[in-house]
Amino acid sequence: MAQQPAETVSKGELRLCARLGLDEAGTQSLLAAMRAGMSSRGAVVLTARAPEGYVPPFACENLGADWLPPRVYVPAVGEKPTSYPDYAEGFYYSLDLSSCWESACLSQVPPPASSLDMCAAPGGKTMLMAARFGGQNHTANEVHPGRRGILRQNLQQCGYPEVEVTGLRPDQWARNGKTFDLLLVDAPCSGQSLLCKGIKNPGCLSSSMVNGNAKRQKGILLSAAQCVTPGGHIVYTTCTYDPEENEKVIAYILKRVPGWYAVEVPELECFRSTLVPFPAYRLLPVHGAGAGGFCCLLRKEN
């Protein structure tokens, strides 16, 4: 019987793996995950509506991970948390485990007097922030009206009516003059990790999409940096792998804007990027905690 021809590796795939500095084994692992589309892992975070001492009614897995945020549970394989009545009651919010991994940066942030989720829809990062610090004096911002409606609906269902929902662009926030102790910037990106979830994402590996998103992300962070009080923090996250949208964006900000530095997150040390001298962290499918993403914690000097 004739052997099946090997699947062709695209220029975009080769370029990404080269930028990540992956060896042959790492390259094959990432490409296999992208093509299989089976790396997604779910999680739930308890909300303000969850009764005291509440435990989800479905079976959960104990990851034994230091980075797992408070009030977060990982459903066992085969469980569907959204099918339980408790989900409709708003006792928990369902999201991707990779998002929970990114929010481990908050472990190094003192409770903020005020906070802003600059790119908030559909609300996962705001839910994780509220699970750790509470929803008081928090603003959830979303520019797109349709997505803003979904954000508002999710916050109401989960018991956070005190969270203000706004729709300003990052540059409008910069001109607004208001500052916050904590900014969450889950930046729009090429979304390469979607491939590992089995979601089609044409063009996500192309140079034009990656470079276009990197330019946009730099603009968002330049605006965000003007909205932070001295001693405050920015948590920068994406759901993509390419260093152009991750490490290089952070390096640009650290060089361009005086008074900022990257903060180490001990719980994420084993995920630390070797591509830059400052602390930044990347999750890949091979790590077993979801489809992957990137995060970096920035602090403004006093």
Residue 84 in this model has a pLDDT that exceeds 90:
yes
Question: Which of 2-6, 93-97, 277-281 is the least confident region?
Answer: 2-6
pLDDT in tens, 212-250: 999 999 999 999 999 999 999 999 999 999 999 999 999
Of 119, 158, 189, 239, which is the active-site residue? 239
For this structure, is 239 an active site residue? yes
Q: Which amino acid belongs to residue 287?
A: H
Its domain, for residue 200, covers: 11-300
Is residue 248 domain-resident?
Answer: yes
What mean pLDDT comes out for the span 146-160?
Answer: 97
Tokens of 252: 């640009």
Is residue 23 domain-resident?
Answer: yes
Distance CA 40, CA 33 (A): 10
Is residue 282 domain-resident?
Answer: yes
Question: With contact defined as beta carbons under 8 Å apart, do 214 and 244 qualify?
Answer: yes
Is residue 258 domain-resident?
Answer: yes
What mean pLDDT comes out for the span 100-127?
Answer: 98
Is residue 4 domain-resident?
Answer: no
Q: Would you state the pLDDT for residue 2?
A: 41
* CATH number of the domain encompassing residue 178: 3.40.50.150
Is residue 6 domain-resident?
Answer: no
Is residue 185 domain-resident?
Answer: yes
Is residue 144 domain-resident?
Answer: yes
Question: With contact defined as beta carbons under 8 Å apart, do 253 and 205 qualify?
Answer: no
Q: Specify the 3-state DSSP secondary structure of 250.
A: helix
Q: Quick one: 70 exposed, middle or buried, by C-beta within 10 A (0-12, 13-18, 19+)?
A: exposed
pLDDT band, residue 34 (cuts 50/70/90) = very high
- How many alpha carbons fall within 13 Å on the CB side of residue 139? 20
Beta partners for 234?
Answer: 183, 298
Total domain count, the chain: 1
Distance CA 53, CA 165 (A): 29
Q: Would you state the pLDDT for residue 109?
A: 98
pLDDT in tens, 166-220: 999 999 999 999 999 999 999 999 999 999 999 999 999 999 999 999 999 999 9
